[in-house]
Amino acid sequence: MIVEITNIIAGLVLAAGIVTSLPAIGPSIGKVAKWLGGFQTIIGIIAIIVGIIYFGLQGIVAVVAGLILALGILPSIPAVGKSIEKLAKWLGRFQTIIGVIAIIIGIWGLL
């Protein structure tokens, strides 16, 4: 259950630009997503850790979302930081799509 909630939160931050366009609930979710965006790096680190612990489909989505969210601190990882940063930058081009997928997979896992 923790990995599903992590995916939903990470997905909201990643897809903050488009959630406001949802009818009726969009503006409210948009405010929450923008507020959560202030904790982007922390959410990214938590998503990576939770994704590794709960490995599976939910875990893979959490790791991918976490890499994008934690992009700012990835270069400080010894030995592999630069390589992971390149991967995260490439994934960042698909940020909104990955965010929507993370939200859907997270909700699906809770059902």
Q: What does the pLDDT profile of the chain (111 residues) look like in tens digits?
A: 899 999 999 998 998 888 877 787 778 888 888 888 889 999 999 999 999 999 899 999 999 999 888 887 777 778 777 788 888 888 888 888 999 999 999 999 999
What distance in Å separates the CA atoms of residue 80 and residue 73, rounded to the nearest whole number?
12
The verdict on residue 100 lying in a domain is: yes
Domain that holds residue 69: 2-105
Residue 111 domain flag: no
Split into its structural domains, the chain has a count of: 1
Taking every pair of C-alpha atoms in the chain, what is the biggest distance, in angstroms?
47
Within a domain: 110: no
Residue 34 lies in a domain: yes
Q: With a threshold of 0.75, does the pTM exceed it?
A: yes
Q: What is the pLDDT of residue 32?
A: 87
Q: Give the tokens for residue 77.
A: 């990882």
